[in-house]
A = this chain, B = another copy of it.
Amino acid sequence: MYVQDFADGGMDAADLLGGKGANLAEMTRLGLPVPPGFTITTAACVEYMRTGVVPPGLRVEVTTALRRLEDAGGRRLGDPDDPLLVSVRSGARFSMPGMMETILDVGLNDASVHGLAAQSGDERFAWDSYRRLVQMFGRTVLGIDGAAFADPLDAAKERTGVASDVELGADELRTLTATYLEIVRARSGRDFPQDPRDQLDAAIVAVLDSWNTDRARLYRRKERIPDDLGTAVNVCAMVFGNLGPDSGTGVAFTRDPATGRAGDYGDYLPNAQGEDVVAGIRNTSTLADLARLDPASYADLRRAMRRLETHYRDLCDVEFTIERGHLWMLQTRVGKRTAAAAFRIATQLVDEGIITLDEALTRVTGEQLTQLLFPRFDAAAERTVLARGLGASPGAAVGRAVFDPATAQEWAGRGEAVVLVRRETNPDDLGGMLAAVGILTARGGKTSHAAVVARGIGRTCVVGADAVDVDPSARAFRTDGRVIAEGDVIALDGGTGEVFLGDVPVIDSPVTLYLTDGVDAALAQAGEDDARALVGAVDRLLRHADAARRLGVRANADTADDAVRARELGAEGIGLARTEHMFLGERRVLIERAIVADDDAARQSAFDALLPLQRADVRGVLEAMDGLPTTIRLLDPPLHEFLPDLTDLAVRVAVADERGESDPDDVALLGAVRRMHEANPMLGLRGVRLGLVLPGLFALQIRAICDAVADLRAQGRDPHAEIMVPLVGSAQEMRLVRAQVEEISAEVGVRGLRVGTMIELPRAALTAARIAEVADFFSFGTNDLTQTVWGFSRDDVEGAFFPAYLDNGVLVVSPFETLDAVGVGRLVTLATREGRERRPDLVIGVCGEHGGDPESIRFFHDAGLDYVSCSPLRVPVARLEAGRAAVLTADRREDR
């Protein structure tokens, strides 16, 4: 059975019927006025793809379904006197731009066009319909370039002196139809099929073929839609919104999808067909106009929408047509909405008793919450769009255009907000990127260097604005005929990818205020009703998420300031306090000296100088997190981050030598750097290895932590320091560091320090049971784990080959953004299970960047982790997603 009438289906058969077909069937089942029709199921498409031929039997099934359709409406396909016309539409399980969409008016030919004219009493309508059929069939079934049809249409309008299609009369349309039929013959080498059944069969095959176009395949790959689902084909009796002033067509939402306000919302176009609304050819009216023009049809529509919203228990959008005062529902689905609308609608539905709070939580996402946190441009303000690119890192940035990192830093240094504009960025631009409020590049995609770094450092970023022609030597860029020079003000919308000229007013997000200062402060500040309602909705859902979630949420924070911030945003501890930042800046020379030291005494003296600094740093973070667990990681980064760059130094020494100005210190340093140079620093002497090989390094850090804890305790504070050992690959490494901690903490007289390990090497995951014997906690370092599981370093491959890998389908998303569940995730699950088997009280978290990624958070919840740790700004997102994960899996905090 490849064919099913609308009346026999429903949403439960969406896999077979596709989204569109299932929704049509659902509406039919609800008794809503859907024109009769049938769906050719995805099974037919799957079989067609497998064998390359239309399944035998499909033709017969279509014939019998068509008979039922003819009987239902009392019209026959191809009847010259009163023809049944049908639409043919693709409809996959998931909405898929890139596939053939629709052919309308199938069934018209040189004979039946007259019957349609007679029956409708509208000759112009009949020829317009025939003209459209030939055009759509020619373009989508026969693959003729659309321009071939557009040119004669323009010529006809010019000849008759009219501005739009609807002003063309029946005669012109008849002539145009003849021209179109000629074009089809000339371009395709055969006549437009006069047999309506041939038209129908060809349209069906065209839909099936459109499943496998390059565009459709690319789209699926990007959206992770399997290639073997296939599309359904919906064949539906035509109804007409263009039969006069008592006809029309529209698109409506059951609530406002932009703001989330309650009450219906939509566009209506009298005397028009659906494609006219979509094409935006004429200005549309609102539903209020419909209520005035045709109160009865409007009432029918309202009832239908209410019925649908009650049935789907969510915002719905619909397409409808009114044919001579009779409402027909042509399509419905759960509607898309903005982030703000998502939160408001979800809570409205709770208040209306339609969904539970749990369900409301599943209707919003962390990604949407993120969008609500960024300042945005005032929608009411005037603005001039200069160019469009890809929104790579969200936010609204306004500043003066600069074209090199040095200028960016210089101008920012004197207090100017600057936007760094580059063809593309590279690691040398980092200083400039940090100095800028926004980054604009002409090239690159969402995984380009600029995009990745900007997201990492929290700068607004638009990439791949290819209309922007950057000329760094002229300190200007050209776009669309304009020249923007250094110092001109531009604005970037990191969400939409738009680039504006001049200073566009920016509005701070009320949600940000809510998160940092609390609900009352935010409500007091939020002037407009929409903002107040939004704050209320976010507050309600976030509190519910906190109550429901099983995962704890900690923050990655290295300084006292960050820790304070994280705590405000709801962090329940620090999952990762890096100590390497404490070695940068002016102190770098000390650690450099320790590393290149020839003898233990020189090294120890450098460490001794570092101890009080490190102690103060640790103290600050512990003070800010008083009473909450604070995981401090011992020194991790590769050696070379603390040493001068080999190439730069070698060039300096060689040039000085050439000039006869050789500096013995430089020469000695070059020797040391050369000796310690690593071909692959990411795989070199770092983390616990450096700690075990460089005497005194870890001891310094452990002592600083113990001292800080002792100090704070002496003051009546309650520090909960946990020491985390990086890059552990074997239990013995942990054992050796643990022994150091025990020795030093006993010396300092500090008890109860917990010692755990990063799980960031495959070997640590594979030997988790052994490591659990000597670790109080695990924290997955999913960045490094991703690097080693895949064998690519983030530094090296994102720019070089991620774009190519996203195109060729090896990657569907950067595994550094969303956890690779199949590879990396498998090790996370395995280590969690085996670690807990050996030590049931093992605390397990994650502190890689995936800790703030919504999809990854769901994975960590499922894997049974105790907490996620993410950057402070992502903490609310993580709280929400953790709540959603709990609700979705019915595995909640209170159940434990």
Contact = CB atoms under 8 A, between A and B. Distances in A.
Contacts of A692: 801, 804-805, 808, 810
A787 B682 CA distance: 11
Contacts of A675: 426
Nearest to A687: B791
Contacts of A733: 810
Contacts of A788: 762, 788-789, 791
Interface in A714-737: 727, 729-730, 732-733, 736
A684 B679 CA distance: 12
A796 B762 contact: no
B789 A761 contact: yes
Interface stretch (A87-95, A572-580, A646-654, A849-857): A646-654
Contact of A729 (B679, B682, B823, B827): B823
Of A646, A647, A805, the most chain B CB neighbours within 10 A belong to A647
A880 to B, nearest CB: 30
B646 A683 contact: no
B683 A796 contact: yes
B685 A683 contact: no
B823 A683 contact: no
B683 A793 contact: yes
A789 to B, nearest CB: 4
A793 B683 CA distance: 5
Contact of A804 (B693, B766, B792, B808): B693
Contacts of A800: 678, 684-685, 693
A51 to B, nearest CB: 20
A763 B820 contact: yes
A658 interface: yes
A795 B729 CA distance: 18
Contact of A650 (B650, B693, B727, B729): B650
A797 B654 contact: no
Of A659, A804, A809, A823, the most chain B CB neighbours within 10 A belong to A823
A685 B767 contact: no
Nearest to A651: B654
A795 B681 CA distance: 10
A426 B820 CA distance: 39
A823 B768 CA distance: 10
A486 interface: no
Contacts of A659: 658
Contact of A685 (B646, B680, B801): B801
A790 B729 contact: yes
A689 interface: yes
Interface in A801-837: 801, 804-805, 808-810, 820, 822-824, 826-827
Contacts of A820: 763
A730 B810 contact: yes
Interface residues of A, number: 58
Contacts of A762: 762, 788-791, 823, 827
A258 interface: no
Contacts of A793: 678-680, 683-684
A736 B805 CA distance: 11
A249 B767 CA distance: 51
Nearest to A221: B732
A172 to B, nearest CB: 50
A558 interface: no
Nearest to A676: B800
A784 interface: yes
A442 B338 CA distance: 72
Given A729-B823, A820-B763, A823-B767, A787 B683 contact: yes
A763 B736 contact: no
A683 B792 contact: yes
A231 to B, nearest CB: 23
A655 interface: yes
A583 B197 CA distance: 62
Contacts of A790: 729, 761-763
9 contacts: A678-B795, A679-B682, A680-B796, A681-B796, A685-B796, A689-B805, A727-B791, A763-B791, A767-B822
8 A-B pairs closest in CB distance: A683-B793, A763-B823, A684-B796, A680-B793, A761-B791, A762-B762, A680-B680, A680-B682
Given A680-B793, A727-B791, A766-B826, 14 more contacts: A658-B658, A678-B795, A679-B796, A683-B683, A684-B796, A689-B792, A689-B801, A732-B808, A732-B809, A736-B808, A736-B810, A762-B788, A762-B790, A762-B791
